Chain A
Amino acid sequence: LAKTTQPISMDSYEGQEVNITCSHNNIATNDYITWYQQFPSQGPRFIIQGYKTKVTNEVASLFIPADRKSSTLSLPRVSLSDTAVYYCLVGDMGFSARQLTFGSGTQLTVLP
């Protein structure tokens, strides 16, 4: 099982770049890395997905080093509305409960 480890919480200030790192030491060759964001009283929302190197979309960037044992979600210039729980998932191209293990996520609090 590709277990993931994330910090429980992080604080940041408006306008700063935030990097949240997820460790997945026993990631398998076919595993992809996916991040979701959950606001209070809402369901999680897909942010970004990647396999290696760097992926960028309009919301965030995902950095994955060559050994793929960790990944970093980068949120540029956060605002108060980015306060949420961020989940890192690791799974393969098959389909199993393994890749649907969200864990407890990282609570990001953006301060004014």
Chain B
Amino acid sequence: DTAVSQTPKYLVTQMGNDKSIKCEQNLGHDTMYWYKQDSKKFLKIMFSYNNKELIINETVPNRFSPKSPDKAHLNLHINSLELGDSAVYFCASSQGTTLAKNIQYFGAGTRLSVL
């Protein structure tokens, strides 16, 4: 069983469209994350939820809206897609937020290409 799964794996879309990426974890973790990785492999935190509550919201355009319907799911909706949104988006989860519990488990990533 895949611990952290994201769908879709690839997403190709036109500028201006709205799209969603889904993430699910079956590890029983309390904390989930969204990261963006650019072409230079720079991996940057976007959002983090703990027990369905938003705890980290980095400087991200408000076109990006995370939603956590329950602890096992964290979805990312992106409105009005722009060329600069092209990247690989990773979902991750951890047991919690304290040091002993914040080792993260990552999904395989969603490669978004905006044309």
Give chain A's interface residues, CB within 8 Å of chain B: 32, 34, 36, 38, 41-46, 49, 85, 87, 91-93, 95-97, 99-105, 107
Could you tell me the distance between the alpha carbons of A27 and B56 in the complex, rounded to whole angstroms?
Answer: 22
30 A-B contacts (beta carbon < 8 Å)? A32-B99, A34-B103, A36-B104, A41-B108, A42-B109, A43-B90, A43-B106, A43-B107, A44-B43, A44-B92, A44-B106, A45-B106, A46-B103, A46-B104, A49-B103, A95-B56, A95-B97, A95-B98, A100-B33, A100-B35, A100-B45, A100-B48, A100-B56, A101-B44, A102-B42, A103-B42, A103-B43, A104-B41, A104-B42, A105-B43
**Neighbouring A residues of B12 by C-beta, 8 Å:** none
Give 1 or 0 for each of B13-54: 1 = CB within 8 Å of chain A CB: 000000000000000000001010000111111001000000
Could you tell me the distance between the alpha carbons of A95 and B98 in the complex, rounded to whole angstroms?
Answer: 7
Q: Is B58 an interface residue (CB 8 A)?
A: yes
**Neighbouring A residues of B41 by C-beta, 8 Å:** 38, 85, 104-105, 107
Could you tell me the distance between the alpha carbons of A70 and B102 in the complex, rounded to whole angstroms?
Answer: 22
What is the number of contacts between chain A and chain B, taking CB atoms within 8 Å?
63
The smallest beta-carbon distance between A90 and chain B, in angstroms, is: 12
**Neighbouring A residues of B105 by C-beta, 8 Å:** 46
**B40's contact among A42, A49, A87, A104, by CB below 8 Å, is which?**
A104
Given known pairs A32-B99, A85-B41, A100-B45, the reply for A43 and B109 (CB within 8 Å) is yes
* 10 shortest interchain CB distances as A-B pairs: A43-B106, A102-B43, A95-B97, A100-B45, A93-B99, A46-B103, A104-B42, A43-B90, A97-B45, A97-B56
Q: Is B55 an interface residue (CB 8 A)?
A: yes
Known: A43-B107, A97-B48, A104-B40. 9 other contacts (CB 8 A): A34-B103, A38-B41, A92-B99, A100-B45, A101-B44, A102-B43, A103-B43, A104-B41, A107-B41
